[in-house]
Structures are given as structure tokens and as C-alpha cells.
Amino acid sequence: MKRHSLCLGLGLAALLPMAHAQKLANPFFAFDNGTGRDRKVPLEEQAELVKRTGYAGLGYTGALRVPEMLQALESRGLKMFSIYVAVRVDGDQPSYEAGLGEAIRQLKGHGTAIWLTVQGASPDGEERAVRLVRDVADMAAESGLRVVLYPHMGFYVGRMEDALRIRKLADRRNVGVSFNLTHFLAVKDEPNLDQRLRDAMPYLELVSINGAEHEGGWDRLIQPLDRGEFDVFGFLKKLVAAGYKGPIGLQCYQVPGDSEDNLKRSMAAWRKFQERM
């Protein structure tokens, strides 16, 4: 009896480290739509705000002024986690974000993801989308970078299923997908959350979160992290349990109020999530 109890105790002790190993240790970065991008705040000031509020770095928008933003971030020990850029399948010819090729060359060695939206509509949109993603992936591969498809409600790649389909068809080893909470809720797919995470997990390289209600416009679907009825902590628990260790970004699009206050409140909520985890 004593031997059985001892073995049981040792077995439980062996399981405890596994339980404690599930920590929310992912790098947490801010989108530049929360640091003053739309108000044309100088890049140095945006970087300083990110540093002051405790984030690991920034998700940058566009392909212009990349070296300046890199310098502003890296001089403060911060990282440019992504550049948010677009390709379009409509028009006479498929098109890329202005300056994308040069930005990819400038990002060589910095570990920045090319966070790619696929926009527009065309009768041969699927063929165009695959060709564009392949082209961007090939450019990125020359700089040792990865391309991460960004499902955005209303775009050609608007849902997780679209991102996974185009990733597979593009057939490039440096292409993955992202899970963007606000757009996932916007397409009303919440009942399928667990299945979408299972499908995405082998290819998941970036995640974006924010406080949110379960439905509504952007004002309801994008809030500071300490607001909204959607269980963000429960979502993060699912991510961690599934083994996701990649970066997580804070979506801040059109969140009203003071930028610094919003970032501080979201960081405080993140740290509480870490403690609870």
C-alpha cells in the first residue's frame, strides 16, 4: 500500500512540471495603428511609446521608410515583428504594395514577417492570388524572411479557410498563416473557433488579439484588451495548450482615447493573463 502511494505521488510530481510549463511567454507587440500611425506621429516617438509601455516591438504598416523604423526600434532594443502590406488580384494586372521588393531587401537579417493581405476580386482571382503569393514568397526567401497570410474580412483572403487554401496552392515553404481575432469575429465564425485553430496550428506564425464583443462593428470588435465580453484569456489558453509560441500582436484600429493610456491598459491586462496562466 505504501509502495503504491509512493508511486502515485511520484507520478503526480512528474506531471506537475508539465502543468507549470504552459506559460504565456509569447512576445507581445503593438500594431502601429495604436502608436500614432494615422496621426503621422514621428517614427522615433512611436518607438519610444512602445518602449515606455512595455511592448516587445511593433507591427509596422506599409513598405516605405522601413530603415528609419528599424533604426528607431532596434536602437531601443525593440523588434519590428511584421510589415503589413497588400497584393491585389483586381485591375488589368495583379499588383504589389508600392516599394515591397525594396522593403524586403532592407529587412534581410531582421526576422520581420511579411504580413500579407490579398485584396480585390477578379474572375481569375484564385490564379492571380496564388501567383502573387508565390512571387512575394520568392522575394522574401532571398532575404531569409517569411510570408504570413492575413485573413481580413471583406478581402479576397477573408477567412482562415481562404488563407489555408492559398497557402497550400502557393506551395512555398516560407508561407504561413495568421489568426486575427477581430476579423475572425467579424465573419461570424466563432462557433468554429476550436476547429479553425486545429486547422491553422501547423502553419500558424502570427496572432492578433484585442478586447472585443462577440459581434458588431469595429468599435465593438476592437477595444483595449481589458474590455469586451469575448473571453480573450480563454482563447490564449487554447493557443498555449496547442503549443503556439509565436508572436502575438495587439490590434488597435480606431480605438478612441489616448494612445498611451490604451496601450498601458492593454499591457496591464496582458500581464494579468500571464499571471493567471
pLDDT digits (tens, 9 = 90+) for 4-14: 444 434 443 34
Backbone angles phi, psi at 61, to 5 degrees: -115, 130
3-state secondary structure of 261: helix
Does residue 248 fall inside a structural domain?
Answer: yes
Q: Tell me the β-bridge partners of 60.
A: 83
Does residue 189 fall inside a structural domain?
Answer: yes
For residues 65 and 106, give the distance between their C-alpha atoms in angstroms, rounded to a whole number.
10
pLDDT of residue 69: 98
Kindly state the average pLDDT of the residues 61-90. 98
Q: Is the pLDDT of residue 59 over 70?
A: yes
Angle (nearest 5°) at CA 30 between 25 and 35 = 155
Query: 3-state DSSP: the chain helix, strand, coil percent, rounded to 5?
Result: 50, 15, 35
pLDDT of residue 7: 42
Q: Is the pLDDT of residue 115 over 90?
A: yes
Q: Is the pLDDT of residue 15 over 80?
A: no
Burial 91-111 (b: 16+ CB within 10 A, else e): eeebbbbeebbebbebbeebe
Q: Is the pLDDT of residue 276 over 60?
A: yes
pLDDT of residue 21: 57
Kindly state the average pLDDT of the residues 194-207. 98
Range of the domain at 172: 25-276
Kindly state the average pLDDT of the residues 170-180. 98
Q: Is the pLDDT of residue 17 over 50?
A: no
Contact 211/225 with Cβ under 8 angstroms? yes
Q: Is the pLDDT of residue 245 over 70?
A: yes
Contact 235/277 with Cβ under 8 angstroms? no
pLDDT of residue 6: 40
Single-letter amino acid code for the residue at 74: E
C-alpha cell at 225: 484588451
pLDDT of residue 2: 41
Does residue 1 fall inside a structural domain?
Answer: no
- Report the number of distinct structural domains present in the chain: 1
Does residue 202 fall inside a structural domain?
Answer: yes
User: What digits encode the pLDDT tens for the residues 118-147?
Assistant: 999 999 999 999 999 999 999 999 999 999
The 8-class DSSP code of residue 188 comes to T
Kindly state the average pLDDT of the residues 247-269. 97
Kindly state the average pLDDT of the residues 1-27. 53
Single-letter amino acid code for the residue at 139: M
Does residue 16 fall inside a structural domain?
Answer: no
Does residue 14 fall inside a structural domain?
Answer: no
Mean pLDDT for the chain?
Answer: 93
CATH number of 257's domain: 3.20.20.150
For residues 147 and 132, give the distance between their C-alpha atoms in angstroms, rounded to a whole number.
12
Does residue 180 fall inside a structural domain?
Answer: yes
Q: Is the pLDDT of residue 240 over 80?
A: yes
User: What digits encode the pLDDT tens for the residues 83-108?
Assistant: 999 999 998 888 999 899 999 999 99
Helix (H) or strand (E) segment spanning residue 179: strand 175-180
**Which residues contact residue 239 at a Cβ distance below 8 angstroms, ignoring those fewer than 6 apart?**
26, 197, 207, 248
Does residue 37 fall inside a structural domain?
Answer: yes
Contact 152/120 with Cβ under 8 angstroms? no
Kindly state the average pLDDT of the residues 161-187. 98
